[in-house]
């Protein structure tokens, strides 16, 4: 009998434009170019191992971590390196690969992971470039292959606004999923923790049974955040480490061991109020977005394109690429226009976490929300907002103050090891004073990495 | 709206950096923000932000204050005409109008002085003007006796904004509730104007006072009655509706309850603090009832304690100030309860301070950080214990 966790705190932001699950995801022409973006990884210093015009196969390294050179980042497709885009101070922004359409892969070990040793599995994951999917909590950084974490967590549902249905996007990969779970199991030699939502009790995830322990979570966002699940199942204390992996990565890992080749095709959701027909598409890891987005948005207002969801995603242009961890593109109105006397209007169309707008009387209505700040940054005044949005025994307001004061002891005691940006994203959304909470939190985490390690 | 926006756009070059009127920039920005929500969009972190901002939060508190303020204006007129014995011959509108004209100058002085100082500090610091004073500026007139001289309002407002708020860093940083400190400042600096029987009812222009007129507030009467050891003459219904002498906004429990309802429904005011303050008041009053012996003030039933003086107003509008109150959810229960207990304790035990509520809230403002510290330490201990079990 799986453990059942009922979470009260949190908020489901009811946005318009959820992707509709058709019987099969729509096919679109294979992308001409794909790219990896080092900025998708916290604290990574990339070092290139290819030049422009080098030809690569899927699974050939493009760059690696300067301080941990065995962690490779590999091309998802075969082709040749088209460009290395640099930003300020020659920072590497994107390594772009032009696909040759053949999808040839390097050959990797094709073997049942349960018969391999931990070392062999680590080596295969590192060499194939799938290791960066294994993230370490605390800090939300790429895990260190030399560590043995106390547990590994996978969350099989995404509760963020307009998030794709994880079961739908993985439905053809049940076998790979089980192989992926077996691989992770071999890394720690005990079952891994799997979180599913109360609506998934009869889903395919419960029929995967080997080498995992299922926990059921019932509640609004952020119940699907793996950090929340860790906090309830196996909380992190000082010095402890937990690894987290996305379900999509499990599939990549499973396919790698099942077939001996790197296959990074995936299904993503195109969603948001400005999308004409929000639905799912078959595509590939790191795909370019210009083809995908062409003609699919309404174009009536200035639009904002987000790789990921509206709470934690990255703002992108249409000529950019899908983020490493993202299964979703969201398009919302930019909303860069003034509104007169907005602070006093009743607000029937204004979704709010507070009860100060008349929209509170609607319980099912979906809303178009734009990227406007709806106010300017102010001093911290209103209390009790954050606690309602974080289903953990953590006082976000005090944690943030400890970070701003650079008080390492207090940060430690108040729970900085347990949270990353996505866990406090709702607080940032709802904050009356418009504090950049995710930025502050990352600064605190970086302080901890520098001072404590 | 478009014209207004154009006007702002035209004025902008003058107040921007290197402009002739740059010293007015904060003022310009404050007025702009009053009229328009700016077009700033999210640059980092979440892409969507809640529609609520500090301006709306504060506006809702001001709206919640309106019933008590309007009633207060009426009551000023009511008390005046009652003192003159002309109540029956005066029309409703004239009663209200008399009060309106008495109260309006106090409000204007409070806002002009307070906002002037806020704008000045914002400009000096290069900050935007925070909206906190919208509420403080309304609270100050409402806790003043109607006969307070305007210059005193100005001095008290200036004192509290400068020494209670700005020296601590401005909105969000103050330890005490600025409005209450303004009141306390006058209470200690000019006691003759802030208590006694001549402060509460405007008797200007009355040639002959009505028979039996004292001008004392029920709380003062209670102290007198206690000394004389006679039953306290409290009319519960009058106190509940608010037709008694007292500070401008504090008398009507029913108008304050409407405000409380607005604050609770919108979630702006903490119902936890309100409930626990009332709870603390009731508990303390009951303790006095049981152990008070023959003392008439102590045996006054708790429902009378709750409707008298500033208890209700303080509970709903002062104790719930999020900046100076306890900030943790558990802490709010303790904080409110102690305010209730202390308010009744001070009021009953020390006749020199009939307004125990003001003292109680300021005292608990002082201790709120300590309460929060204890609650946060509790959280830390709980979290540490949890990790030991795992290890």
Helix/strand/coil (H, E, C) string of chain B? Answer: CHHHHHHHHHHHHHHCCCCCCHHHHHHHHHHHHHHEECCCECCCCCCCCCCCCHHHHHHHHHHHHHHHHHHHHHHHHHHHHHHCCCHHHCCHHHHHHHHHHHHHHHHHHHHHHHHHHHHHHHHHHCCCCCCHHHHHHHHHHHCCCCCCCHHHHHHHHHHHHHHHHHHHCCCCCCCCCHHHHHHHHHHHHCHHHHCCCCCCCCCCCCCCCCCCCCCCCHHHHHHHHHHHCCCCCCCHHHHHHCCCCCCCCCCCHHHHHHHHHHHHHHCCCCHHHHHHHHHHHHHHHHHHHHHCCCCCCCCCCHHHHHHCCCHHHHHHHHCCCCCCCCCCHHHHHHHHHHHHHHHHHHHHHCCCCCCHHHHHHHHHHHHHHHHHHHHHHHHHHHHHHHHHHHC
**Section B124-133 average pLDDT:** 83
**Contact: B54, A369; criterion CB under 8 Å:** no
**pLDDT-wise least confident of B55-64, B290-299, B306-315:** B290-299
Mean pLDDT of A326-334: 94
Cβ contact (<8 Å) for A436 and B45?
yes
Write out the two tokens for A49.
Answer: 């191992």
Alpha-carbon distance A244 to nearest alpha carbon in chain B (angstroms): 19
- Check residue B7 and give its pLDDT: 81
Write the CB contacts of A239 (distance below 8 Å, at least 6 apart in sequence): none
- CA nearest to A371 within chain B: B48
Q: Dihedral, CA atoms, B174, B175, B180, B186, nearest 10 degrees?
A: -90
Model pLDDT, residue B388: 53
* pLDDT cut 70: percent of chain B above it: 95
Predicted pLDDT of residue A276: 93
Interface test with A, best of B37, B48, B59 (most A CBs within 10 A): B48
pLDDT over threshold 90, residue B33: no
Statement: residue B389 has pLDDT above 60: no
Q: Where are the domains of chain A?
A: 3-259, 269-278+285-333, 373-451
CB contact under 8 A, A382 and B132: no
In this complex, do B387 and A310 lie within 8 Å of one another by their Cβ atoms? Answer: no
Q: Do B386 and A371 touch (CB under 8 A)?
A: no
Residue A224 to residue A357: CA distance in whole angstroms:
27
**Averaged pLDDT score across all residues of chain B:** 87
Measured in whole angstroms, the distance separating CA B9 from the mean position of its chain's CA atoms is 37
Mean pLDDT (whole number) for B148-175:
92
Q: What is the mean pLDDT of residues A232-247?
A: 92
- Partner-chain residue, chosen from A13, A355, A415, that has the shortest CB–CB distance to B267: A355
Going from N- to C-terminal start, the domains of chain B cover 2-35, 58-378
Residue A186: closest CA among A124, A129, A136: A124
Q: Average pLDDT of B87-95?
A: 87
Chain B positions touching A311 (Cβ under 8 A) are: 46-48
Name the residue among A415, A428, A433 with its Cβ closest to that of B383: A415
Q: What is the mean pLDDT of residues B276-304?
A: 87
Q: What is the pLDDT of residue B304?
A: 85
Q: How far is B376 from chain A (nearest CA, A)?
A: 8
Question: Is A376–B132 a contact, with Cβ atoms under 8 angstroms apart?
Answer: no
- Any idea which of A47-51, A303-307, A381-385, B330-334 has the lowest mean pLDDT? A381-385
pLDDT of residue A402: 95
Q: Out of A240, A381, A414, whose CB is closest to B54? A: A381
pLDDT tens, residue by residue, A219-229:
999 999 999 99
Nearest residue on chain B to A160, judged by CA atoms?
B46
pLDDT tens profile A61-89: 999 999 999 999 999 999 999 999 999 99
Mutate to test the interface with A, among B34, B41, B129, B168 (most CBs of A within 10 A): B41
SS3 content of chain A, % helix, strand, coil (to 5): 25, 25, 50
pLDDT band at A344 (very low <50, low <70, confident <90, very high): confident
Least confident of A186-190, A340-344, B313-317: A340-344
Residues of B in contact with A344 (CB under 8 A): 56, 59
Q: For residues B31 and A91, which has the higher predicted lDDT (pLDDT)?
A: A91
Instruction: Check B171 against A306: CB less than 8 A apart.
Output: no
Instruction: Categorize the per-residue pLDDT at A35 as very low, low, confident or very high, splitting at 50, 70 and 90.
Output: very high
pLDDT at B201 over 90: no
Check residue B102 and give its pLDDT. Answer: 93
Q: Is the pLDDT of residue B178 over 60?
A: yes
A7-16 average pLDDT score: 94
Question: Which positions in chain A touch B130 (Cβ < 8 Å)?
Answer: 378-379
Contact A425 B1 (CB under 8 A): no
User: Rounded distance, CA A243 to CA A144, Å?
Assistant: 10
Chain A residues close to B331, C-beta within 8 Å: none
What's the mean pLDDT in B195-211? 73
State the average pLDDT over residues A36-44.
93
Minimal Cα–Cα distance from B355 to chain A, Å?
Answer: 27
Return d(Cα A35, Cα B27) in angstroms, integer: 48
Mean residue pLDDT across chain A:
92
* pLDDT digits 0-9 by tens, A365-399: 899 999 999 988 888 888 889 999 999 999 999 99
pLDDT for res B391: 41
Q: Is the pLDDT of residue A245 over 70?
A: yes
pTM for this entry = 0.91
Q: Which two tokens stand for residue B347?
A: 């009021």
Domain B58-378 CATH (choose: 1.10.3430, 3.90.1720, 1.10.3210, 1.20.5): 1.10.3430
What mean pLDDT comes out for the span A277-305? 91
Alpha-carbon gap: A258 to the closest alpha carbon of chain B (Å)? 36
pLDDT at site A262: 93
| Predicted confidence band of residue B14 (pLDDT cuts 50, 70, 90) | confident
B324: closest chain A residue by CA: A381
Q: Do A338 and B39 touch (CB under 8 A)?
A: yes
Q: State the pLDDT at residue B390.
A: 46
Residue B12: per-residue pLDDT: 78
> Which residues does chain B have within 8 Å of residue A302's beta carbon, measured at their own beta carbons?
none
Q: How many CB pairs under 8 A join A and B?
A: 214
CB within 8 Å: A340 and B4:
yes
Q: Give me the residues paired with residue A96 across strands.
A: A35, A83
Weakest mean pLDDT among A88-92, B352-356, B373-377: B352-356
Mean pLDDT throughout A158-163? 94
Give the tokens for residue B376. 């946060």
Instruction: Report the distance separating Cα A157 and Cα A169, nearest Å.
Output: 11
More confident residue, B214 or B100: B100
């Amino acid at each position: 009998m799986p453990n059942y966790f009922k979470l009260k705190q949190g908020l489901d932001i009811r946005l318009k434009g959820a992707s509709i699950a058709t019987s099969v995801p729509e096919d679109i022409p294979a992308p001409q170019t794909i790219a990896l973006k080092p900025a998708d990884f916290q604290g990574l210093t990339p070092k290139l191992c290819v030049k422009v015009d080098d030809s690569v196969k899927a699974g050939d390294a493009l760059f690696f971590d300067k301080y941990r050179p065995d962690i490779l980042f590999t091309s998802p497709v075969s082709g040749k390196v088209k460009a290395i885009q640099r930003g300020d101070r020659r920072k590497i922004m994107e390594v772009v690969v032009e696909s040759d359409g053949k999808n040839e892969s390097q050959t990797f070990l094709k073997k049942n992971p349960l018969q391999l040793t931990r070392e062999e599995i680590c080596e295969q994951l590192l060499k194939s470039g799938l290791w960066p999917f294994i993230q370490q909590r605390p800090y939300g950084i790429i895990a260190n292959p030399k560590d043995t974490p106390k547990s590994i967590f996978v969350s099989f549902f995404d509760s963020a606004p307009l998030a794709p249905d994880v079961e739908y996007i993985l439905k053809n990969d049940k076998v790979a999923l089980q192989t992926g779970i077996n691989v992770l199991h071999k890394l720690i030699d005990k079952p891994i923790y799997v979180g599913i939502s109360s609506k998934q009790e009869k889903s395919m995830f419960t029929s995967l049974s080997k080498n995992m322990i299922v926990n059921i979570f019932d509640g609004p966002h952020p119940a699907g955040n793996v950090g929340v699940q860790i906090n309830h199942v196996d909380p992190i204390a000082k010095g402890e480490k937990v690894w987290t992996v996305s379900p999509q990565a499990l599939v990549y890992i499973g396919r790698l061991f099942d077939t001996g080749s790197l296959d990074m095709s995936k299904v993503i959701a195109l969603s948001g109020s400005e999308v004409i027909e929000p639905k799912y598409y078959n595509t590939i890891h790191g795909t370019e977005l210009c083809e995908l987005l062409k003609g699919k948005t309404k174009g009536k207002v200035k639009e904002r394109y987000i790789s990921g969801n509206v709470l934690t995603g990255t703002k992108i242009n249409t000529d950019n690429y899908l983020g490493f961890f993202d299964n979703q593109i969201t398009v919302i109105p930019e909303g860069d226009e003034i509104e007169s006397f907005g602070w006093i209007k009743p607000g029937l169309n204004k979704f709010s976490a507070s009860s100060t707008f008349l929209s509170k009387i609607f319980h099912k209505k979906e809303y178009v929300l734009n990227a406007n700040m709806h106010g300017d940054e102010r001093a911290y005044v209103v209390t009790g907002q954050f606690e309602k949005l974080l289903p953990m025994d953590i006082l976000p307001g005090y944690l943030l103050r400890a970070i701003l004061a650079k008080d390492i002891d207090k940060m430690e005691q108040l729970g900085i090891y347990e949270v990353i940006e996505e866990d406090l994203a709702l607080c940032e959304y709802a904050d009356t004073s418009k504090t950049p909470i995710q930025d502050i939190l990352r600064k605190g985490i970086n302080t901890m990495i520098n001072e404590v390690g | 709206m478009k014209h207004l926006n154009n006007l702002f756009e035209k004025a902008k070059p003058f107040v921007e950096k290197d402009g002739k009127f740059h010293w007015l920039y904060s003022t310009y920005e404050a007025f702009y923000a009053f009229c328009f929500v700016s077009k700033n969009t999210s640059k980092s972190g979440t892409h969507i932000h809640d529609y609520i901002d500090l301006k709306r939060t504060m506006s809702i508190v001001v709206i919640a204050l309106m019933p008590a303020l309007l009633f207060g204006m009426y009551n000023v007129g009511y008390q005046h005409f009652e003192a003159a014995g002309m109540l029956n011959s005066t029309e409703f509108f004239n009663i209200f109008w008399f009060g309106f004209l008495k109260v309006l100058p106090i409000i204007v002085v409070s806002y002009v002085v307070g906002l002037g100082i806020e704008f000045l500090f914002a400009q000096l610091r290069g900050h935007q003007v925070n909206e906190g004073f919208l509420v403080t500026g309304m609270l100050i007139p409402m806790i003043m006796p109607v006969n307070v001289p305007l210059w005193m309002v100005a001095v008290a407002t200036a004192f509290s904004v400068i020494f209670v708020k700005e020296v601590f860093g401005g909105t969000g940083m103050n330890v005490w509730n600025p409005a209450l400190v303004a009141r306390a400042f006058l209470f200690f600096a000019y006691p003759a104007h802030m208590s006694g029987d001549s402060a509460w009812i405007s008797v200007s222009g009355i040639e002959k006072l009505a028979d039996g007129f004292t001008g004392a507030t029920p709380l003062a009467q209670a102290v007198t009655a206690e000394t004389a050891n006679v039953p306290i003459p409290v009319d519960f219904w009058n106190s509940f509706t608010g037709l008694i002498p007292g500070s401008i906004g504090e008398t009507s429990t029913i108008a304050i309850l409407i405000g409380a309802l607005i604050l609770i429904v919108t979630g702006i005011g903490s119902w936890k603090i309100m409930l626990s303050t009332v709870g603390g008041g009731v508990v303390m009053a009951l303790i006095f009832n049981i152990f008070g012996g023959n003392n008439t003030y102590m045996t006054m039933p708790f429902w009378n304690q709750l409707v008298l003086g500033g208890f209700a107003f303080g509970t709903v509008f002062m104790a719930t100030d999020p900046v100076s109150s306890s900030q943790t959810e558990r802490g709010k229960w303790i904080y409110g309860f102690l305010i209730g207990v202390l308010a009744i304790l001070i009021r009953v035990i020390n006749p020199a301070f009939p307004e125990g509520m003001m003292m109680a809230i300021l005292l608990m403002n002082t201790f709120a950080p300590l309460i929060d510290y204890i609650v946060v330490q509790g959280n830390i201990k709980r979290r540490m214990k949890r990790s030991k079990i795992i290890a």
